[in-house]
Structure 1
């Protein structure tokens, strides 16, 4: 059964199935968890259904890793088993769907922790 986040991700990209969309959403969340501060990841997690929130809650203590958008996409590609040529579009669809679910101040604070190049992840169009 698909969730609203999966449905939105599928609106932004032609995923072959709900399962493919969900796998990408989970991969994006897990990768954001590595990239964001523990406190910000937890704040975002509180706004998501538990199934997705768990991907943002990594064992503590931890420190945000700093890496480029290209490395972010490499990690999502591996975790969701995406094709290289489609990875940015699918990651952007998932990130935009997640942003739809956590819009507002928390999303703004999370995005402030990311370099400007990450803005491309939040620009998917239905």
Structure 2
């Protein structure tokens, strides 16, 4: 999947009229996720993604500790949406990432995050028919 296809799919999933809105959602979600993950996990997750997308994960200031509510607050501010939209956008972007990266990469991410981040994986569960474990 190339950059335009990836962002176009986010645009479709989020029902955005403009490509730039989808880019902003990708950047907000993946930069914030990159901040929360350790550098190695962020790099592993990013490697199968288009170069323009993986940059958001690998260029972040890694290893920060914050709960899921703070995660949503950061996504909300970066994207300029409310927290409920930030939650939905986060789930949709991660579900798309899950369809591109090997399951093992996503499982490593999941194992690194505290239990309150399980909401992040709700659409991954339904999109892949239960590929990831609870």
Aligned to 2:120: 121
C-alpha contact 1:9 1:96 (8 A) present in aligned 2: no
C-alpha contact 1:91 1:121 (8 A) present in aligned 2: yes
State the Cα distance separating 1:25 from its structure 2 match: 1.2
Alpha carbons of structure 1 residues 48 and 111: separation in structure 2 relative to 1, 3 Å: same
Secondary structure of the residue aligned to 1:123 is helix
Query: Structure 1: how far apart are the matches of 2:76 and 2:7?
Result: 17
Query: Structure 2: how far apart are the matches of 1:30 and 1:45?
Result: 11
1:23-102 alignment to 2 at 5 Å?
23-58=24-59, 64-102=63-101
Query: Structure 1: how far apart are the matches of 2:10 and 2:47?
Result: 20
State the Cα distance separating 1:110 from its structure 2 match: 1.0
C-alpha contact 2:3 2:50 (8 A) present in aligned 1: no
TM-score of the aligned structures, taking structure 1 as reference length: 0.82
What CA RMSD, in Å, does the superposition of the two structures yield over aligned residues? 2.4
Give CA deviations for 1:62-98 in whole Å, capped at 9, x if unaligned. 6511111100000011111112342211221122212
C-alpha contact 2:37 2:109 (8 A) present in aligned 1: yes
Name the structure, 1 or 2, with higher relative contact order (CA <8 Å, separation 6+): 1
Structure 1 residues without counterparts, runs of 5 or longer = none
Structure 2 residues without counterparts, runs of 5 or longer = 128-134
Q: How many residues align?
A: 124
Whichever structure has more helix as a proportion of its residues is 2
Secondary structure of the residue aligned to 1:15 is coil
State the Cα distance separating 1:13 from its structure 2 match: 3.1
